[in-house]
Amino acid sequence: MALVKWSAGDIISAREANDFGIRKGSESDIAGIPSADAEDGSILYNTTSQCPQVYITASADERGSLLCYIGADSNEVTQTGVTPLEVKSLSYIKDVDGFKGQFLRIIAELKSSDASDFAHLRVRTDGGGGDDLDLTTNSTTEVILTGTIDISGKSLGRHTIEFFIDDGTGDTVTQRELEVWGL
């Protein structure tokens, strides 16, 4: 995949805009772009991580993700038991003039007190009874888990995101850092 740059005097047509616009490719496609063919500010769409990125030569990994910050919580919460317990919630507004994203990216820190079973961070939206996302680990040290929820079908207006934790055998689950990003 080659990243073609605009030059002075270029005429914009539908075909040229496609050739010179946002590039789309997998992580390996994007990593293979020669540095001479990419400039700071070049926009890319990474199909592996499913998010737009901007090329930044001064950064360690040369790319930064373009996401909309929805909210975060760093309070440590625990739950001992098999019944999911709501421990955190966030709300957001989907609006034509503000955030009108199609996905929510959930990034969370989670651990279990017992490696023989899985700790769950269950994510539900708008008070729904079913899990929109279930992040799991059996690690006894904090691990960072990431998942994506499709919100393309959500109407404009206020929405809630509820976070529940539990463990299949009743061990203790600990959840601390939580971030929600929109794209």
Mind listing the pLDDT tens digit for each residue in 93-145? 998 777 888 889 999 999 999 998 899 999 999 998 899 999 999 999 999 99
Domain-located, residue 3: no
Same domain, 45 and 79: no
d(CA 120, CA 163): 10
Establish if 7 belongs to a structural domain.
no
Q: Helical H runs in 8-143?
A: 14-20, 27-31
Query: Per-residue pLDDT tens for 16-67?
Result: 444 455 677 777 877 777 666 666 667 777 777 777 777 766 555 566 667 7
Looking at the structure, tell me whether residues 40 and 101 fall in a common domain: no
Q: Which domain holds residue 52?
A: 14-65
Instruction: Check: CB of residue 140 under 8 Å from CB of residue 111.
Output: yes
Q: Considering 23, 46, 65, which residue would you say is the last residue of a domain?
A: 65
Verify that 169 and 92 share a domain, yes or no: yes
Please count the structural domains in the chain. 2
Q: Are residues 85 and 108 in the same domain?
A: yes
CATH of residue 145? 2.60.120.260
80 with 39, same domain?
A: no
pTM, to two decimals? 0.74
Question: Are 42 and 80 members of one domain?
Answer: no
Q: Is residue 24 part of a domain?
A: yes
With a CB cutoff of 8 Å and minimum separation 6, the contacts of 31 are: none
